[in-house]
A and B are shown apart, each in its own frame.
Chain A
Amino acid sequence: MQDPKNMTCEEFQAQMAELIGSGEDLSVHPHVQTCTLCRALLNELETIAEAARQLFPVEDPPDTLWEKLETAIKEEGNQTRS
């Protein structure tokens, strides 16, 4: 357990995955408050995570897929019956 106030950037970044994953609000972390570099890093990661949520709109598969699936289901039914 390091003292969060006296962390180096390396120490902070080594713990970053765990800190972020823990659900804490990192913007109030003493190191983040005093270190522009780590604050910027955090912001960038946040920007990426947010942008990713906007990506890949949901879309429908082509209609032909149901036909293929039906065929496959029937084939399987025939096999298991024999």
Chain B
Amino acid sequence: MQAHDSSPRAATASGNPPIEMPSRKTAASLQTADVEPASTGEVAAPSVAGAEADVLSRAQAGDHHAFAQLYSLHKRRIYSLCLRMVGNVAEAEDLTQEAFLQLHRKIATFRGDSAFSTWLHRLAINVVLMHLRKKGLSVISLDEAMEPTPEEGPGRSFGAPDLSLTGSIDRLALERAIAELPAGYRLIFVLHDIEGYEHNEIAAMLDCSIGNSKSQLHKARLKLRDAMRTIPRREGRR
């Protein structure tokens, strides 16, 4: 009855892609945030969850091999998250590395109050936020965001509805438009619309109010809409 019996299970886990998905919205509407049904299939199969728990506890005990397994289980999601938030491969790699380095430092403090993947995800988000702040980007310049400037006040978004947005959207143009959003807007947009976080979670992560999160998300979408309707002809802008 010693601890060794679990290694075969743990070994199989390392080859699997991470199972947990962010709590995706159903694509049906904009406002799915607060009404997620409980039955989305995001619970990992028990055997795999058990295997991961085992890898996790060994990694917490300082087992380097187990840590490597955790890395391969989670690298894809963490890297993708970083990539979306910074929109730049080199930075995303650095941030992924930093996130896992911090994971290595802090893993013993993980207590299982939340799912490990959620915990790691937040840790990674914090790494990204710190990085953006260090770069001098006002991550959430809420005052600025909250205060309607003349051209951004209510009613401005009010325009001819005939833009070609209703059909298919030019993927590249949208990606570019997202990349060009101011950092604060992009973060909230990525966290909510792409990563599937809800406003109360975003508010907690970014230390802002839920109202701010809603308002910034809305503004981000409006900005994207504007960017999409004036399909950028000025390509070379950085």
Contact = CB atoms under 8 A, between A and B. Distances in A.
Contacts of B174: 48, 51-52, 55
A43 to B, nearest CB: 6
Contact of A52 (B158, B161, B178, B219): B178
A70 B72 CA distance: 13
A76 interface: yes
B175 A55 contact: yes
B32 A23 contact: yes
B165 A48 contact: yes
Nearest to B33: A23
A61 B99 CA distance: 13
Interface size grouping (class) on chain B: 35 or more
A44 B80 contact: no
Interface size grouping (class) on chain A: 35 or more
A47 to B, nearest CB: 5
A21 B77 contact: no
Interface string A51-81: 1111111111110011011101100100000
A76 B97 CA distance: 13
Please provide the 5 A-B residue pairs with the shortest distance between their CB atoms, ordered closest to farther: A40-B161, A21-B214, A17-B218, A14-B154, A23-B34
Interface of B: 24-25, 27, 29-35, 64, 67-68, 71-72, 75-77, 79-80, 83-84, 92-93, 96-97, 100-101, 104-105, 154-155, 157-159, 161-163, 165-166, 169, 171, 174-175, 178, 189, 193-194, 199, 210-211, 213-215, 217-219, 221-222, 224-225, 228
